[in-house]
Structure 1
Amino acid sequence: MPTIKFTANLKRFYPELTEIEMDSLDLNEILDALESKFKGLKDYVVDEQGQLRKHVNIFIGDELIRDRIALSDAVKPTDEIYIMQALSGG
């Protein structure tokens, strides 16, 4: 099963959030499953149109996801997925 990992910023809002394994074929399914466990988490990650928010990045392994709109990137059982807040400013 893919392993999903989170940054400390998300844990600030969801203290019970820990590294988790989920059986899924794509990112959209993973986000739906996460939402069922952690209410409101999906709203932090995606906007009202279901697209990845500008301040959030998701990596599958060391690759930034390609589909920020439909979140259809495929996920393999051995993948590590990182959901993190993008940093900006100076």
Structure 2
Amino acid sequence: MAIVLFAGELRKLVNGRDEVRISAGDIQACINILAKTYPRVKKTVYDKNGELSDSINIYINGDNIRGLNGISSTLRETDEVNIMSGFAAG
């Protein structure tokens, strides 16, 4: 299962957990699975149009998904996903 890490204040979205393990084929499926247990995840990660929010950055093994295939970026079982505020990322 991929490890999903939430940075800083975003941990509150997953009840303060440092990490969540998810088995999903891509980032969109990962977010949807997370949202079933933690509904605030979807509201925070996506904007009102259903697009990835400008205030959120998601990385797979250190690579920003915006430079990959966005929310369609493939996830492998060994991947580490970091979800953080765009402001925290620099």
The number of aligned residues is 86
Task: Give runs of ≥4 in structure 1 deviating > 6 Å.
Answer: none
> Could you say which residue in structure 2 is the equivalent of 1:67?
69
Q: Structure 1 stretches of 5 or more lacking a match?
A: none
From the CA coordinates, give the structure whose radius of gyration is larger.
1
Percent pairwise identity: 24
Which amino acid in 2 is paired with 1:60? I
Which amino acid in 1 is paired with 2:4? I
What is the alpha-carbon distance in structure 2 between the residues aligned to residue 22 and residue 13 of structure 1? 15
RMSD of aligned Cα (Å): 1.7
Matched, 1:43 2:43: yes
CA-CA distance at 1:48 after TM superposition: 2.2
What is the alpha-carbon distance in structure 2 between the residues aligned to residue 85 and residue 37 of structure 1? 20
TM-score, reference length from structure 2: 0.84
Q: Structure 2 stretches of 5 or more lacking a match?
A: none
What is the alpha-carbon distance in structure 2 between the residues aligned to residue 36 and residue 12 of structure 1? 15
TM-score, reference length from structure 1: 0.84
Which structure has greater helix proportion? 2
